[in-house]
Structure 1
Amino acid sequence: MAINLDPSLRKWLSVGSGIGIEIGLRDLRVTLVRVRPSGVRLLAQTTIENYRQRPAAEWGAGYNAFLRKHGVAHLAATVLLPRNEVIIRLAPFPGVSDKDLPAALRYQADSFHPFPEDEAVYDWSRLGRTAMVLIGIARREIVERHAGLFNEAGVRVAQITVSAAALYAGVRLLRTPPDAGLLTAMPLETGEVEVYGESNERTLFSATFDLPPERAAALSAAELRIHSEAAQDPLALLPAAQGETVQSPLSYAAALVSACPRLALGVNLLPPERRVANSRLMLVPTAALACLLLLMVAALGIQGAWEDRRYLQAIGTEIAQLEPRVRQAASLDQSVERTRNRTRQLDQFRRRSSEDMEVLKEATKLLPPPAWLSSLEVTRTGVLFAGEAEQAAGLLKTFDESPLFTNSDFALGIVRVGAMEAFRIRSQREAPKP
């Protein structure tokens, strides 16, 4: 059922024109509407007075002339039964699938009404994706009488439904119901007050009270567990109508159901053989425009993909043209890097001789006469000193105090040679500069 769709998607499916008829004690209230995703326009409304006492052919001719005047003679109406002629039940069916729900309802049907089995007619609809089912019930004789009267008058009828089903669908047309709940109280011609509400505690509430509207609203608010201040005018719950001021909220709600039957609850008490479907030809212009729109969207999508391919091809061509230059630049970068490395190595070799001479100069300074060196071995990381001194033991400290040497130790033990001491000292150099 389309009423269970996402609200944004339901809005774009809200397209159509409809006729709503509310049956009163003496009069019929008729409302014509046109629904579009942008809003609802009230085309016209009229009241057929004292229809029960007048010949059906007479007021039926006036009704059809009214429809022809406004260009909707091809439409079948949705009729709303008086609240005192119907019973509305709300029953939970947890765990029952849509496929098994009809059998479950037939099994419990006798418990929903006080009429003999053959004297009642009922229809039902699941409320959204919940386990709650709305059931509309009326005496078969009442439905047959109204259907026969409309048939005699030449009034095309597609659906006879109940107020709760019409209000439930109307509240959700072009909008989303408030999370805090809603409530409205409507005085009836019988002197009673019909209350309709929704809340988190009660998916749907519909009842009549023989009380003042304020008192009925307060009792219903307590049942719904919402504030009594939440009660609103029924028109405030329905989509705002452009054009005339709505005279009958219930007739207006029935017209909305007639305009968008696929977005409404399927509670229809009219026997299937008496139902008149709206002509499918009226959907041809809308379908044609929809197909044209789909073609345009498809063309835009194809154009976008084609432009993307062209763009990628152009980028590929540019890349192919620039690749030789990129390779040449990379080759030049590598050549420059090799030249830098060679220059750096040459600089290091040039500095080595100077650094080695600094080692010899430092050793000469550290060994004053009569000490002397017989050999000097210099590597990049160390120095090996060999020579003679009067007292060789103190040379380790002397070398370590030099900024050029560290970690000095004797490679061989000290040997006494006459008045001198022969030594071999190994020291580490500072790491060569890069």
Structure 2
Amino acid sequence: MRSPRSKRFGECAHCGPTTTACRAWARSAGPSGSVWAAARRPSPCARRRRCGPAPPSAPWPRWWKTGPSAVPTRSASCAGARRPSKNSMAGLLDLWKRFGAGVGLEIRGEDLLAVAIKSRPAGVTVLGSLRIEGFREIPAAEWGRRYQAFLNEHALGHLAATVCLPRKELVVRQLRLPPMPEKERAAAVRYQLDGLHPYGDVEVCFAHAALGETGKDRPTTMAVAIAPREKVDAWADLFQEAGVAVSAFTVSEATLYAALRMRPEAPKQPLLAVDAESDALLIYGESAARPLLTAEFPLRSAPPSRVLQLVLSDLRVAPDAAVGLAVFGPEASAAAEELAQTSPALEPRAVEELFPAPLAAPEEFRLREDLRGLAVALEAACPGVGWRANLLPVERRSKDSRWRLAPTAALLFLLLLLGAGFLIRPWIQDGAYAEALQQRIAKYEETVALVRNAKMSAEDAQRKLEILRGLGRRTQRDLEIFSELSEKLPNSAWLTQLQIGDEGVQLNGEAQAAADLLKTLNESGRLEKARFTTSLRKLETGEGFQIAAERRAPTAPAAPAGPGGAPAAANPQPSPAQPPAAQAPAPAAPEAAQPAGAEPAAAPAAEEAQ
């Protein structure tokens, strides 16, 4: 919740400079014009409790380097709510939606009220207002000339007006749609249209808008405005006869919805806005459970207190929740006090607390009485903020004059030229620099090619040398494995086949106890993970086996310590070569068990190793 502005610049709007540190900070904050310096250095309580004056980000985003020398800050209370940043893309889009100028026409009984405004992110300025009393009895051409003179006085003759139709001539309904894509909502509303209005088979004009957050994965609450086509055509013919260019026919609910969202902060829900007329109450409400509540109660049917009790029950708020109540309209002064005493849950609020108060307005304009006319003008100036609900048929809508966009288009064109120049200049400079570099590179291409060829030849020779060294080391390691097998295998085992590969060895043969060979191989210095690849075969002289084992990763020997404890710098000498495996005696096998024509076990292994 945003607290009211402090009386003294630098004070925390919630707790004030109550401590010594805060009072010292308030004295050092300087005069009220030193906004930018003081905003950068928050008070001690602001650093401790996240309150105090917020940086003056509006109406200028922080990345704008220029701004007025003195801008009143907005204080943030200790409740923790913060003003939305204008640096984000969503904030910039929201600022852009608040630019515009428009003219709104409100039909209230026998009078026609025209309000012309100019909207900016800093606020709304009412340029002028014109009230035509009894316009229904005056020839259309006569009051049309008065209206045109009013537009020319404020240099707004190029604008088409937005007209708020009388609430008694239309209905506004709320429709709940299941999750669906946005492009299918219009068809869903049209499908249920006949059950939303009481006009029977009469041709109608309707417009719809989504309320709150929307998405194809969540239900959507739609507001649907419906009016008989006959009434819409009658009003369109009347304004055409008067020579008034009209771009849209809207409804009062849409205008109030747009006006509530023209303030920098979101509207404080739940709320009720009551338009008090002499014979009826027009009520607009919002809450978390009820995005839209609209009703019209004639005073002859029920007293105002009873009307508000019914509305509060329909608003679906918690019993202890406070509901903001703002009363406006011609009879607002007489009805406000009586309506506020209806229920203790009602919290009277000034119109300026919920709706944007004009920065400047003519003397004849009164915000409380003419709020609906201001809301219509706001929707005309900033259509992106409201519903964009238009009951006027497309073929009868007038467009704003495009000449009003000529200055903006010219400035935008110049800005695009400057931007294109800033974008193209680095490319031109980079192209010239690249061309100069290419000329320098061409001078040294031949030398670079020779160096590259020499480097490639050296790398090729080094690669071949590594291959030869690897082959030499491979032969030595194979002989070491062969020699170790000759030493480790018991005399009761003899081999019929020995295969030495890159990953390990495979032994085929016979032994009296083949299971003991696995332990022998795992305890060797060059083999590990020995396992049987097939099941053992029972033979007359023992067991037939087939064993596979992997090479053990070689471990580098520790370098001997040099003088003073430093490791020796010399390369470690290779371990002495084992005696050739071909010279190791092969384990003898019993003559009776050796089949005829079989060779000694060592001979096939030696041939395989060679």
Following superposition, the deviation at residue 160 of structure 1 comes to: 0.5
Q: Which residue of 2 aligns with 1:231?
A: 325
Distance 1:6 1:225, change over 3 A: farther
Measured in 2, the distance between the counterparts of 1:217 and 1:11 equals: 36
Which one of the candidate residues 363, 369, 375 is aligned to 1:253? 375
Q: Which protein, 1 or 2, shows the higher relative CO under an 8 Å CA cutoff with sep ≥ 6?
A: 1
Q: How does 1:7-406 map to 2 (within 5 A)?
A: 9-130=93-214, 131-189=220-278, 191-210=279-298, 211-226=302-317, 227=321, 229-233=323-327, 235-236=351-352, 237-244=354-361, 245-246=366-367, 247-290=369-412
Q: Which residue of 2 aligns with 1:310?
A: none
Measured in 1, the distance between the counterparts of 2:138 and 2:127 equals: 26
Measured in 2, the distance between the counterparts of 1:104 and 1:229 equals: 33
Following superposition, the deviation at residue 36 of structure 1 comes to: 1.1
Following superposition, the deviation at residue 228 of structure 1 comes to: 5.8
1:130-175: CA deviations, max 9, x gaps?
3011110112111111111111000110000111111112211243
Measured in 2, the distance between the counterparts of 1:154 and 1:144 equals: 15
Following superposition, the deviation at residue 263 of structure 1 comes to: 2.9
Measured in 2, the distance between the counterparts of 1:41 and 1:290 equals: 25
Distance 1:230 1:279, change over 3 A: same
1:188-244: CA deviations, max 9, x gaps?
35x110111111111111111234555434432332234465112454332211222
Query: Is 157-166 or 124-133 further displaced after alignment?
Result: 124-133
Distance 1:50 1:35, change over 3 A: same
1:269-289: CA deviations, max 9, x gaps?
111111001122212323444
SS in 2 for 1:31: strand
Matched residue type, 1:200: A
Structure number with higher strand proportion: 1
Query: Is 278-287 or 129-138 further displaced after alignment?
Result: 278-287
Measured in 2, the distance between the counterparts of 1:292 and 1:214 equals: 61
Measured in 1, the distance between the counterparts of 2:297 and 2:273 equals: 13
**Identity score, percent:** 40
Measured in 2, the distance between the counterparts of 1:213 and 1:293 equals: 57
Mapped contact 1:85–1:138 kept (Cα < 8 A): yes
In structure 2, runs of 5+ residues without a counterpart are 1-88, 215-219, 329-350, 427-563, 565-610
Measured in 1, the distance between the counterparts of 2:370 and 2:117 equals: 13
Distance 1:262 1:178, change over 3 A: closer
In structure 1, runs of 5+ residues without a counterpart are 305-431
TM-score (norm 1): 0.64
Mapped contact 2:100–2:118 kept (Cα < 8 A): yes
1:385-416: CA deviations, max 9, x gaps?
xxxxxxxxxxxxxxxxxxxxxxxxxxxxxxxx
Mapped contact 1:182–1:198 kept (Cα < 8 A): yes
Structure number with higher helix proportion: 1
Mapped contact 2:260–2:267 kept (Cα < 8 A): no
Measured in 2, the distance between the counterparts of 1:7 and 1:193 equals: 36
Matched residue type, 2:294: S
Measured in 1, the distance between the counterparts of 2:303 and 2:417 equals: 58
Distance 1:195 1:96, change over 3 A: same
Matched residue type, 1:193: L
Matched residue type, 1:72: L
Mapped contact 1:18–1:255 kept (Cα < 8 A): yes
Distance 1:185 1:217, change over 3 A: farther
Following superposition, the deviation at residue 19 of structure 1 comes to: 0.6
Matched residue type, 2:406: V
Distance 1:293 1:174, change over 3 A: farther
Mapped contact 2:272–2:323 kept (Cα < 8 A): no
Mapped contact 2:100–2:119 kept (Cα < 8 A): yes
Measured in 2, the distance between the counterparts of 1:38 and 1:281 equals: 26
Measured in 1, the distance between the counterparts of 2:423 and 2:402 equals: 31
Measured in 2, the distance between the counterparts of 1:264 and 1:285 equals: 27
Matched residue type, 1:136: A
Matched residue type, 2:254: A
Query: Is 270-279 or 110-119 further displaced after alignment?
Result: 110-119
Matched residue type, 1:271: P
Mapped contact 2:169–2:227 kept (Cα < 8 A): yes
Measured in 2, the distance between the counterparts of 1:228 and 1:51 equals: 41
1:298-330: CA deviations, max 9, x gaps?
8899999xxxxxxxxxxxxxxxxxxxxxxxxxx
Mapped contact 1:183–1:217 kept (Cα < 8 A): no
Mapped contact 1:195–1:216 kept (Cα < 8 A): no
Following superposition, the deviation at residue 54 of structure 1 comes to: 1.1
Mapped contact 1:7–1:174 kept (Cα < 8 A): no
Matched residue type, 2:289: E
SS in 2 for 1:104: helix
Matched residue type, 1:224: L
Measured in 2, the distance between the counterparts of 1:243 and 1:117 equals: 48
